[in-house]
Amino acid sequence: MIYSKDCFVPFVEFILYREDVLTKPPIDGDLWKIRALLIQYIQSNPNHPSIQLTNISEFLTYLIQFNLISGNSLKFSKLLNSNVGLEITPPKLIWINVSGILLLKARLQGGSFPQSMIVSGIHRPQKEPKTLFELLETPKLKMDPIYSHEIVLKTSFTFNPDMLFELIKRPTARTILSKERARLKTKKVFFYNVCNDSNHNHILGTVGLNKKEYSQYGTNKQMIPQATVHQRISQSKNMISNEIYKCSQCKIHFLPIINNHTDLNLGDCSYLDTCHKMKTCRYLHYYTLNSNSSHYSSDQKENEENNQVHEYSIGDCFSESFREVLPAQWINCDIRYLPFKILGKFAAIISDPAWDIHMSLPYGTCKDEELLSLPMHELQDEGIIMLWVTGRSIEIGRRALLKWGYKISDEMIWVKLNQLKRTIVTGRTGHWLNHSKEHLLVGLKGNPIWINRKIDMDVVVSGTRETSRKPDRFYDIVERLVGIHSRKLEIFGRDHNTRPGWLTIGNQLQGVSLYEPEVKRRYEAYTQSNNLHLNYN
C-alpha cells in the first residue's frame, strides 16, 4: 500500500520527540516496540490521522516509504523489505539522521529550511540568475519535488545562501578529529622543581664535579653526562646527608663550577653558559644537574628524549598531509642579490635581518634601505611572516612589513633566561635599561584561514645561546601554525638553523643543498647565466 504524505507527519514528530531513546535499551531499535510506541503516540492526539500499521509487514512498508522521502534518514541493521520481519533476527533501527528528518519536517510543512539552520535573511534584488553563484544567491529557488513512486510531496524548497556559507564555515569531521588527536597526542609538561638550597648545590658540586674536566672541556659543559654526575653522587652517598641525596634525585640543582681561577667574590658570570672564555673566566659558572632520570615516569623520559616538552603551547599541530617532509635545504648567498623568484612561494617566512644596530657583531650587516627594498612580495602570496627586530629597528620593521604587503597581526617576545633558568638581569644590550628580551613582529598576507590558530602564545621564555641565535621553539611554533609539510623559508639563517621542511638562506651557510627539483633547476639556470660557481654540498 501507499501511505499519503500526512501519514508521515506524526512519525516525524514521534522520532524527533523520542530520537534519543529509540536505539538504546530497553527499546534497542526493536521495530515491534517502536511500532507499538508509534501507535500509542498517534492515538494520544485526536488530530493525528489514523494510519494502518496492523502488522509488522505494513510497518516495514511504512518505514521503506519513509526512508525514500527522508533521504534514508533511518539506518537499519539490514536492508528492509516487507518479508524481513519474519526472519529469526529481524532488522533493528541503529541510527537516526536527525538533520535529514528536520529537513523532511520542513518540507512536509510546505516551507523552507528549519529556522535554526538559517542565519539571517539578506534582501537581495530579484533578477534572473546567470552564473552558478547568482543561482545559489537567489533567495527563493524552487527545487523539484521529491518522488517516491506515487508519493509526491508538492512542497517548495527554499534555498538560503547564508545557510550555505554557514555550512561551509563549519569545521569538517576530519578537522575535529585531527584536533582531538593532536590534543591527545600532546605530551604533558613535566614540571621541573628547582632546589633553592645553596648548601645542596655546593655539596653536590663538590662530590659530582671534577675540576679537571672543566679545564679540559672549556665551554662545553654538556660533555659531562648527567648520568656520570648522578653516578658519582650515588657513589658518595655515605659522604652526604640522606636529605641532600634524595633531593638530588628529584629536583634540579645548579652546581657551582669552582676552578682554580674562579674568584667567588666576583659573583656569577653574566655570560653564563654562553661564556666563551670559561677556561680563564674568573666569574662563577654552573652545571645544571637535572633530577635523576631513573625517577621519571616513562612518559616524562620520553618527553625529554623526543625533546617534545611544550611548556607554553597547548597542543600539537593538527593539520595533516600525506606528503613527506622535505629534507633541510639551504643556499649560501648574499640576500641582496639572490633573485627571490628562484625560491618559489612559502607558507611561512622567518627573517632575522642583520640590522645595522651600531654594535660590534661577528657578521656583516645590511643598511635599512637595502632591507626595505628586498623583493619580499615574490616569496609569498598568502601566509605568515615573522620578523625579528631590535629596539631601533622596531619601527623600520613595521614599515618594512607594511611595504611588503603584510598587515601586522601580533608581536611576540623572547624572554631570555640565564643558566639558572632565571630572567637575565644584566643583559649585554640596552643603554638605559638592561635588555632581557627580543621582539618579533608577526605579519599576515592575504586571508590565510588555513593557519592553525590559538595553539601557542606570544611569549617564549628560553635560554640564550650563541650571539644572535634564536630559540628553536620559534620554529616549532611556525610548524604548528602552518604544518610541518608546508614550505617554509628562513632568511638570514645560519648552519644551526637549517631544519627539515625549511629552506634557509644567508651568507654564513656552508654551500648549497637543494632537493626540490624546480628550485634546483631555477638555481642552476641562475648560476649558469651569471657564471657563478655551483657549490653543492
Q: Is 468 in the site for ligand SAH (CB under 6 A)?
A: yes
Q: Terminal CA-to-CA distance of the chain, rounded, Å?
A: 80
Q: Is 293 in the site for ligand SAH (CB under 6 A)?
A: no
Alpha carbon 532 to its chain centroid, in Å, reads: 40
**Does residue 37 contact residue 18 with C-beta atoms inside 8 Å?**
yes
Q: Which is nearer to ligand SAH, 282 or 336 (CB)?
A: 336
Spell out where 219-310 has E strands: 253-257, 285-289
Q: Are β-strands 437-445 and 383-389 bridged in parallel, bridged antiparallel, or unpaired?
A: antiparallel
d(CA 442, CA 387): 6
Which string of x and - marks every residue 410-439 that binds ligand SAH (by CB under 6 A)?
------------------------------
Which residues are paired to 461 by β-bridges? 415
Q: Shortest gap between Cβ of 118 and ligand SAH (angstroms)?
A: 51
Torsions phi, psi of 506, nearest 5?
Answer: 175, 165
d(CA 95, CA 90): 16
**Does residue 257 contact residue 219 with C-beta atoms inside 8 Å?**
no
Among 94, 252, 366, 444, binds ligand SAH (CB under 6 A): 366
**67-75, 302-310, 361-369, 446-454 -> range binding ligand SAH (CB under 6 A):** 361-369
Total residues in contact with ligand SAH, by rule CB under 6 A: 19
d(CA 447, CA 384): 10
Q: Which is nearer to ligand SAH, 51 or 512 (CB)?
A: 512
Among 372, 508, 520, 527, binds ligand SAH (CB under 6 A): 508
Q: Is 390 in the site for ligand SAH (CB under 6 A)?
A: no
The SS3 assignment for 521 reads: helix
Q: Which is nearer to ligand SAH, 183 or 469 (CB)?
A: 469
Q: Shortest gap between Cβ of 474 and ligand SAH (angstroms)?
A: 9
Q: Which is nearer to ligand SAH, 381 or 495 (CB)?
A: 495
d(CA 349, CA 305): 28
**Residue that has been written with the C-alpha cell 631513573 in this structure:** 294
Q: Is 82 in the site for ligand SAH (CB under 6 A)?
A: no
Q: Which is nearer to ligand SAH, 195 or 505 (CB)?
A: 505
Among 334, 381, 410, 518, binds ligand SAH (CB under 6 A): 334
Cell (9 digits) for 67: 526512508
1-40 residues in contact with ligand SAH (CB under 6 A) are none
Q: Is 364 in the site for ligand SAH (CB under 6 A)?
A: yes
Among 53, 335, 379, 482, binds ligand SAH (CB under 6 A): 335
Q: Is 336 in the site for ligand SAH (CB under 6 A)?
A: yes
Burial 29-56 (b: 16+ CB within 10 A, else e): bbbeebbeebeebbeeeeebeebebeeb
Cell (9 digits) for 85: 520481519
Q: Is 348 in the site for ligand SAH (CB under 6 A)?
A: no
**Does residue 262 contact residue 284 with C-beta atoms inside 8 Å?**
yes
Q: Which is nearer to ligand SAH, 366 or 461 (CB)?
A: 366
Q: Shortest gap between Cβ of 435 and ligand SAH (angstroms)?
A: 16
Among 507, 516, 520, 526, binds ligand SAH (CB under 6 A): 507
CB atoms inside a 10 Å sphere around CB 14: 18
Which of these, 270, 278, 265, lies nearest to 214 by C-alpha position?
Answer: 278
Which string of x and - marks every residue 130-159 that binds ligand SAH (by CB under 6 A)?
------------------------------
Among 354, 396, 424, 482, binds ligand SAH (CB under 6 A): 354
Q: Shortest gap between Cβ of 276 and ligand SAH (angstroms)?
A: 16
Among 506, 513, 514, 519, binds ligand SAH (CB under 6 A): 506
Task: For residue 82, give the H/E element and its range.
Answer: none
Q: Which is nearer to ligand SAH, 383 or 493 (CB)?
A: 493
In Å, how far are 19, 203, 239 from 213, measured between CA atoms? 74, 18, 22
**Does residue 239 contact residue 207 with C-beta atoms inside 8 Å?**
yes
Q: Is 470 in the site for ligand SAH (CB under 6 A)?
A: yes
**5-13, 165-173, 407-415, 505-513 -> range binding ligand SAH (CB under 6 A):** 505-513
Instruction: Point out which residues bind ligand SAH (CB under 6 A).
Output: 334-336, 352, 354, 363-366, 468-470, 492-494, 497, 506-508
